[in-house]
Amino acid sequence: MKKELAKFEDWPFRVPNWKKVGEKIDALTDQFIHAEDEKSALKAFKAMSRYMEKVEDQLTHISVLFTLDTRNPKYVKANAEMDENSPVIAAKNLRFAKALLESPHRPFLEKKLGSFLFTMYEYSLKGFDERIVEDSVEENRLTSEYGSTIAHAEVPFRGEVYNLPQMGKFMVDQDRETRKEASEAYYAYLSTIREKLEDIYDRLVHVRDRMAKKLGYKNYVELAYIKMNRFDYTPEEVASYRESIHDYVTPLAEKLFRAQARRIGVRDMRVYDLNVQFPDGNPLPRGTTEDKVESAKVMYKALSPETDHYFNFMVDHHLLFLDAKPGKQSGGYMTYFPVEKTPIIFSNFNGTSGDVDVLTHEFGHSFQAYLAGDIKIPEYRMPTMESCEIDSMSMEFFAEPYMDLFFDEPVKYRYLHLADSISFLPYGVTVDEFQHWVYENPEATKEERNAKWHELELKYTPWKVKAYEGCPYMMEGGRWLTQSHIFNSPFYYIDYTLAQVIAFQFFNLDRKDHEKAWKKYLRLCKMGGKYPFRTLLKKAGLKDPFVEGTLKRTIQPLKKVLKDYGI
């Protein structure tokens, strides 16, 4: 770790000279192609890796600053330039990828770099080439337009104006009338931008379908699996896994819903009741953002020396961007700066228990990046998406014993977290099946897409659909329009559900043997992305969610935990 790292606000803001970046990539590719011997080829590969890390740092900095303030003209301009030029740079990199795969020194390079790296490069060639550069520029522009549209939301409520994340606190308020009023304001606003969001998505679907067909694929589903680096499982296996969720988890989630309705004393649940678990309201974390950060410091000091060190490092260098603000994009994420070897955490605190979820979930991502930061080959530092989410979701459970630092009634939070984690699985596969259908039927109308979403909700979460009565926006299948992953990261959602099943495995083991569970978690994080998903699980001693029986055996112990809470 670089001790001299400046605080984030002091990092220099640089927009790449795109022409010079392209010329440098060409020059480094030529250097690799003309390497006279094995060692020269390896040296050229390392030079390209170092240079691309510098470029990635600058692009990541632009992206972070834009998401922090989508109204700043300087950041808007830089982000637009990045949207336009990054596909061109990606096309430049294809020449290097081809040279690597075709190199006469490949046997030596595979021995030094590992054969999995070459599989990654093969996938990169399958997922992109010069024919789709213009389409990729359009895709980037549309996803930025979606993000800005959501970020610029202004919801009038009780004499004030709020963005979408800020409305969250009112929508889980103890007072049902407040929830109802907030919900009506929230969905009334979404109705005003619904047509725009549907139009953005329609254009995204068509541009992605066009890209897939230009590359010779039947549809975007095939291309998406390549782009997501799904090396070792297929759409058919995912479909079977979704049915397992339907068979084993949907009934349990519905049982939890019925218990929730009894607990809060509401016979006819409505959309504004769905996220409230207790008659006196959901547990809310104590204090300000600063108070929560101080509590997290205590928690991570108690958890391990490694978490203690790294969380304090992030705080000291101002790498946490936590509060919801006007013009800030919604959602939460972690992103990594390879030159500085450090991540940042982005979120939108709104005074709910979700604030604590971010301090555990996104820190889990950051912690993995920190532990794998010294892996020399950049492509091996970060695992594939579903593996990344194991690190974050498991950290949520490792943090549970310390919830008394944040809540007056920590038991309620623990129950809420577990119940929500279980109930998330049917929703997660709803998103996934919806996306498969959309891209298998790219000419479907907006009305047909909404109807399909409604149909899938009836399949996986029918109790929610009944609660939508009285809310036209939700009854007409509009829920998916605020799920940013559907727009920005297509097919990145089943990953959460797969990771959740693994996180439950860590939770079950942690309750029996914390030391063993923590060592296994550290081992997983330190491996980074050296292996594809299913191989990584095997090497970490974890059970494969795609294997028949794994889901059922993982879920069964959770039922006892729920009963033990006595709630």
User: For residue 83, which amino acid is it?
Assistant: D
Burial label, 368 (beta-carbon count in 10 A; 0-12, 13-18, 19+): buried
**pLDDT for res 212:** 98
**Residue 226 identity (one-letter amino acid):** I
pLDDT of residue 308: 98
Neighbour tally for 243: CB within 10 Å: 11
Helices within 277-409 (DSSP H only): 289-303, 305-316, 354-371, 385-398
Mapping DSSP to helix (H, G, I), strand (E, B) and coil, where does residue 261 land? helix
H/E/C letters for each residue in 16-70? CCHHHHHHHHHHHHHHHHCCCCHHHHHHHHHHHHHHHHHHHHHHHHHHHHHHHCC
CA-angle at 102, arms to 98 and 105, nearest 5°? 125
pLDDT of residue 331: 86
Residue with tokens 């228990």: 353
What pLDDT does residue 3 have? 52
- Report d(CA 371, CA 49) in Å as an integer: 20
Which residues are bridge partners to 346 per DSSP? 321, 333
Q: What is the pLDDT along the chain (567 residues), one digit of tens a residue?
A: 445 799 999 999 999 999 999 999 999 999 999 999 999 999 999 999 999 999 999 999 999 999 999 999 999 999 999 999 999 999 999 999 999 999 999 999 999 999 999 999 999 999 999 999 999 999 999 999 999 999 999 999 999 999 999 999 999 999 999 999 999 999 999 999 999 999 999 999 999 999 999 999 999 999 999 999 999 999 999 999 999 999 999 999 999 999 999 999 999 999 999 999 999 999 999 999 999 999 999 999 999 999 999 999 999 999 999 999 989 998 899 999 999 999 999 999 989 999 999 999 999 999 999 999 989 999 999 999 999 999 999 999 999 999 999 999 999 999 999 999 999 999 999 999 999 999 999 999 999 999 999 999 999 999 999 999 999 999 999 999 999 999 999 999 999 999 999 999 999 999 999 999 999 999 999 999 999 999 999 999 999 999 999 999 999 999 999 999 887
Q: What's residue 1's pLDDT?
A: 45
Provide the residue type at 389 as one letter.
E
**How far apart, in whole angstroms, are the C-alpha atoms of residue 466 and residue 258?**
12
Q: Please give the model's pTM, rounded to 2 decimal places.
A: 0.93
What is the pLDDT at residue 273? 97
Q: Domain residue spans in the chain?
A: 13-128
